[in-house]
Amino acid sequence: MSDQTGLLIIGASQSGVQLAISLRALGFEEPITLLGEENHRPYQRPALSKEWLQGEVGNESLIFRSAEYWDEHNVTLVKDQRIVRVEKNPDGSGVAVAESGAEFPFKRLALTVGARARKMAVDGADLVGVVYLRNADDALALKAIVGDATDVAVVGGGFIGLEAASSLKKMGKNVTVLEYGPRLVGRAVGEETAEYFLEAHRARGLDIRLNARITRFTGEAGAVAGVEFEDGSVVPAQIVLVGIGVVPNTELAEQMGLAVDNGIVVDSHALASDGTTVAVGDCANMPNPVPGSPAGERIRLESVNNAIEHAKVAAYSLMGRREDYAGIPWFWSNQADLKLQIAGLSMGFDATVVRRDDERGKFSVLYYRSGRIIAADCVNAPLDFMAVKNALAKGQNVPADAVQSADPGVQLKTLAVPLTTAAAGGTS
């Protein structure tokens, strides 16, 4: 059907870039095409809500690799081409067709298509000044209007919303965070961490409203002017930044007949249900990679660390090797002077222990399942983060009772012990 011209990677961001780099490091010799729909060189997203938004770093610092690097490594970069259809043969080869009509033949295919911002469906959502923050174009659109705004409403109290809100506050804006749920960062952290962030952000001047029932965005002359609530009250806003989560880009996978369930379903070697296509990063639903997690548990992660580690697994797969996900998933989120680091995955926890040292501004929550540590949220506590990450990687426990009875000044790493049979039980 097609000229088989090596590997085609659809999606030129964190996962796609890492996949190309890892393949070359492993000695993959076929041509690689790294193709994306955005009209930018591949760039890193995290600073868009933080240092870049605040003007602390410029555009160039976000770019992953130089043009020379890609040339030297025989990787063809294609920008501004949105793939709308893939025709694939059972042997893994095929052709991808772009909206423009351009065709990209391949011998093997990788989907690193990520996720897109979930859209807000209320009256006024189309007004000028209602913006999102998923990609560089979104960020540029926000930056273009931020200078003229006094009041900003951030819809969504998740990581992106809180990072952007903290940046905008630092830039001198009156910022109101509107969260639909009863607490902040509902999806990713437990109650204690959510409560800590609520307290800490309020103390730093963010107006945070939980259980916010938005009915519409009000406008004047086509531009947003405020956010209206069920009780008729209005918060003024010349910018409304919506950060209510993302939707994985699964349309191509669906069109190809691949299994999809909150992401493209892959096995522990990043292979999709056809056995030849790899899918990596934010778009992929994979087996929980943490050693000792319950058999069959699956997860879709949205983090830089996962994009990198998952891409390495996929690179091995494309080289015909079966290697496990290396390391323990981790995540960071910088919000003003609050530096959150999360080690492990807290899903399924049944107990927590809080370590709080207000004098030094440190706060950690340790999560346990059946007596075994599975994760930690650490705010301005990098040593706690490292201790838990290392313990998880070494298959050790940090027993809850030892942490509870220890002074917050005691280093967690000194409390790590080999897993007892009891704590190792209950998981497989």
Give the residues lining the site for ligand FAD (CB under 6 A): 10-16, 35-38, 45-46, 48-49, 82-83, 112-115, 133-134, 160, 249, 252, 281-282, 302-305, 307, 331-333
**Identity at 249, one-letter amino acid code:** N
Whose Cβ is closer to ligand FAD: residue 142's or residue 423's? 142
Whole-number Cα distances in Å, 421 to 241, 261, 328, 388:
49, 35, 21, 19
Whose Cβ is closer to ligand FAD: residue 133's or residue 270's? 133
CB of 38 to ligand FAD, least distance (A): 5
Which two structure tokens, joined as six digits, stand for 204?
A: 């730093």
**Identity at 341, one-letter amino acid code:** Q
> What totals of helices (H) and strands (E) does the chain contain, helices first?
10, 28
CB of 359 to ligand FAD, least distance (A): 27
Whose Cβ is closer to ligand FAD: residue 115's or residue 224's? 115
**Residue tagged 């050693």 (tokens):** 291
CB of 248 to ligand FAD, least distance (A): 9
CB of 423 to ligand FAD, least distance (A): 29
CB of 242 to ligand FAD, least distance (A): 13
Which two structure tokens, joined as six digits, stand for 123?
A: 């009256």
CB of 215 to ligand FAD, least distance (A): 27
Whose Cβ is closer to ligand FAD: residue 218's or residue 380's? 380
Whose Cβ is closer to ligand FAD: residue 347's or residue 424's? 347
Q: Phi then psi for 406, rounded to 5 degrees?
A: -85, 145
**Identity at 44, one-letter amino acid code:** Q
Whose Cβ is closer to ligand FAD: residue 173's or residue 300's? 300
182 exposure class (CB count in 10 Å sphere: 0-12, 13-18, 19+)? exposed
CB of 363 to ligand FAD, least distance (A): 18
Question: Which residue's Cβ lies closest to ligand FAD?
Answer: 114
Query: Which among 161, 143, 145, 144 has a CA at the least distance from the CA of 153?
Result: 161
Whose Cβ is closer to ligand FAD: residue 247's or residue 410's? 247
What is the DSSP code string of 192-258?
HHHHHHHHHHHHTT-EEESS--EEEEEEETTEEEEEEETTS-EEE-SEEEE---EEE--HHHHHTT-
- The order of strands in the sheet holding 108-111 is 75-78, 32-35, 7-10, 108-111, 278-279
